[in-house]
Chains A and B, each alone.
Chain A
Amino acid sequence: MKIAVCVKAVPDAAGGRRIDPATMRLERSGELTISEFDTYAVEEGLRLKEAAGDGEIIVVSMGPERALDALRKALAMGADRAVLVTDEALAGSDLLGTSKALAGALEREGAEVVLFGQQSADGGGACLWSAVAEHLRLPVISQVSELELVGSVVTGKRQTEFGYDTIRAPLPAVIAVSDAINTPRYPSLKGIMGAKKKPQVSLGAGDVGGAAGTGTTVEGLSAPPPRGDARKIDDDGRAAEQIVDYLVEKRLI
């Protein structure tokens, strides 16, 4: 069984994040790391492979060339090889461009299961999988907190605002897992040592059907309005009364 896991290399959160005022894009120049949410998808892929007894896990990503370093964490966890779509022509892609490029890379692989994490750790809209599934014309189940694969039918328990939906789909299918689904393993020392030797391939825009235009623009940046007269008090035994006074003053009770 072939399992593709789509991951994103994001700036290390420890470095702090900012928007470059010149390009009005998220600054991504620092150290990149695999988005934490995506490690749940990698883990679920590993579990599916282990349950099936055999299979291949391909990590698929789009980003700058140095994103390969970040993909190595997935390889260290146990994924078999990595495919990175990287091309200057794809820089600044929005949902339309990113989903097309990923779908192009996935089409070359023909995986039976395509896994995503529930959102990216930076600027994520939590919807890329659905756009990719639309390109591939495959069924999609998102926010999956439990996944079961029997034969060629996958069943996912989906968290919604209202509770849980259980949804079934035939393979091939696109599945976005939530971070409630498992606890991702730490890479073993052997895994880390072996990761560099695993196949890592870069694809250009031409390999994945060309770059798509963007559908969205950034027109400007501004500072959010400040909060008004914030107050902070230490409880001297009268805090409850003070809160009530405040709520009355604000006409909230």
Chain B
Amino acid sequence: MSKTLVFLEHHEDAIQKSSLGVLTRAAQLGGDVAGILIGSGVSELGASAGEYGAATVWIANDERLAPPLPQPRVDVLAQVVRDEGYDTVLFAQSVLTADVAAALAVRLEAGLNWDLTDLTAEGIGTRPALADSVYVDVGWSTAVRLAIFRSGTFDATPVGGSAELKEVTVDLEDFSTLAEMVEQAHAVQQGPSIEDADVIVAGGRGLGEPEKFVLAEELAQALGGAVAATRAVVDAGWYPYSAQVGQTGKSVAPKLYVALGISGAIQHKVGMQGSTVIVAINKDPNAPIFEFSDLGVVGDLHAIVPRLTELVRARRG
């Protein structure tokens, strides 16, 4: 029977939904499934992991683990994997987990597959490649298998279990504590986070000017969704990086993705093509986004969107 450990990333007193999604999938695959929370004052979060299918939650509580730095987390994970004999360690993709998983792979001499969109009970992962034009089935040749899943790949579904919480004794390597957090300047989240949203309205250059993002915001509000942006407009300073979708931003997979004035460059496509339904409005009939939209609308978004927002508001009351 496989023994799976799921890394539970947390931020501001909540476990990331994408981590809980991976935990949900791990529990569906069966075997002995545990979660691990690494930080300071994280015991409180353990119970919620139980609801998503973890039988055990390892808790590593230490002041030195408070800042979200990767290297001390590698020490904790390596120790738990070795001491408890886990054969599979799963992560949801993030800036932090990429660094953690890669170093853990070296420490444990374990194969690491990343950017997966699924994993079977037989241990085969699905990895879309070349801008998702081909799916590669990947496997592992090592005793311990590490995998990073695209964020938003799995829905987090509570199954109503409860986890046994177990404390981990924290023992850190000297070199792991050389990097120190000086300051964390985290933008205050406005509205729902794009990774957690079921509906995303995204804006690109076609909005014309930064002030026109209000069109995306109003439509998002009407639909009960979040606002995202392309890299071009983030680079231009129209919208914050935290909202950027694409290769150098976040990967999202909402039920509905509405693209406003977005051409659909590959850089953007890889971050959002996992969306269930894609609706695109663009005045250029040849925009690449129409090649992977479910509903493509060729027209002036400045005329269409205000009317659309009004109609949605009226419908939803």
The stretch of A45-53, A59-67, A190-198, A239-247 in contact with B is A239-247
Name B235-294 residues within 8 Å CB distance of A: 235, 241-242, 247-248, 250, 255-256, 277, 279, 281, 285, 290, 292-294
Q: Is the CB of A230 within 8 A of B105?
A: no
Given contacts A134-B107, A216-B139, A217-B141, contact A252 B255 (CB under 8 A): yes
Q: Which of these, B103, B130, B135, B300, contacts A134 with CB under 8 Å?
A: B103
With both chains docked as a complex, state the minimum distance between the C-beta of B56 and any C-beta of chain A, in angstroms: 26
Within B289-308, the residues touching A (CB, 8 Å) are 290, 292-300, 303-305, 307-308
B124 within 8 A of A: yes
- Residues 216-235 of A, flagged 1 when their CB comes within 8 A of B and 0 if not, give 11111111100111111111
Known A139-B178, A227-B292, A252-B199; contact A159-B130, beta-carbon cutoff 8 A: no
Interface residues of B in 81-123 (CB under 8 A from A): 94-96, 98-103, 105-107, 109-115
Q: How far is the CA of A141 from the CA of B182 in the complex (A)?
A: 12
Tell me the complex Cα distance, A146–B112, Å: 29
B135 close to A223 (CB less than 8 A): yes
Please give the distance in Å from B216's CB to the nearest CB on chain A: 14
- A118-176 contacts to B, CB under 8 A, are 118-119, 123, 125-131, 133-135, 137-143, 155, 158-170, 173
* Contact segment of A69-77, A80-88, A94-102, A200-208: A94-102
CB contact between A133 and one of B103, B111, B133, B305 (< 8 Å): that residue: B103
Tell me the B203-220 residues at the A interface (CB within 8 Å).
Answer: none
Q: Which residues of A sit under 8 angstroms from B136, Cβ to Cβ?
A: 19, 24, 218, 220-221
Choose from A130, A159, A168 the contact partner of B102 (Cβ within 8 Å).
A130
Judge whether A234 and B106 touch: CB under 8 Å. no
A120 to chain B, nearest CB (A): 11
CB B267 to nearest CB in A, in angstroms, measures 11
Known: A161-B250, A234-B298. A219 touches B139 (CB 8 A): yes
Q: Is the CB of A218 within 8 A of B137?
A: yes
Contact A131 B315 (CB under 8 A): no
B69 within 8 A of A: yes
Interface residue A18 (Cβ < 8 Å from any Cβ of B): yes
Shortest Cβ gap from A83 to chain B (Å) = 21
Tell me which residues across on chain A come within 8 A of B98, comparing CB atoms. Answer: 125-127, 130, 142
Which residues 126-173 in B have Cβ within 8 Å of A in the complex?
128-130, 132-142, 148, 173
User: Does B135 lie within 8 Å of A169, measured CB to CB?
Assistant: no
Q: Which of B19-27, B46-54, B184-192 contacts A (4 or more CB under 8 A)?
A: B184-192
Residue B179 interfacial (CB < 8 Å): yes
Q: Once bound together, how far apart are the Cα atoms of A233 and B304, in whole Å?
A: 13
A232–B140 touching, CB < 8 Å: no
Query: Within the complex, which residue of B11, B256, B294 is in contact with A231, where a contact is CB–CB below 8 Å?
Result: B294
Interface assignment of A14: CB less than 8 Å from any CB of chain B: no
List A contacts of B180 (CB < 8 A).
167-169
Given contacts A141-B179, A163-B184, A224 and B299 within 8 Å (CB-CB): no
Contact A219 B107 (CB under 8 A): no
Across-interface contacts of A159 in B (CB, < 8 A): 95, 241
Instruction: State the CA gap A18–B279 with chains docked (Å).
Output: 29
Write the chain A residue with the least CB distance to B299: A235
Q: Are B279 and A243 in contact (CB under 8 A)?
A: yes
B21–chain A nearest beta-carbon distance, Å: 15
Q: Does B223 contact A (CB under 8 A)?
A: yes
Is B183 on the interface with A (CB-CB < 8 A)? yes
Given contacts A18-B130, A217-B138, A253-B223, contact A228 B179 (CB under 8 A): no
Q: Which residue of A lies closest to B294 (CB)?
A: A230
Chain B neighbourhood of A244, CB < 8 A: 308, 311-312, 315
Residue of chain B at shortest CB distance from A136: B175
Does B230 reach chain A (CB closer than 8 Å)? no
**CB of A213 closer than 8 Å to a CB of B:** yes
24 of the cross-chain contacts (CB-CB < 8 Å) are: A17-B130, A26-B129, A96-B106, A99-B106, A118-B248, A127-B114, A130-B98, A130-B102, A131-B106, A133-B71, A163-B186, A166-B181, A180-B235, A215-B105, A215-B109, A216-B111, A218-B138, A224-B134, A233-B298, A240-B311, A243-B281, A246-B295, A247-B279, A250-B277
Closest 6 CB pairs of A and B: A215-B111, A235-B299, A127-B102, A163-B186, A240-B307, A139-B178
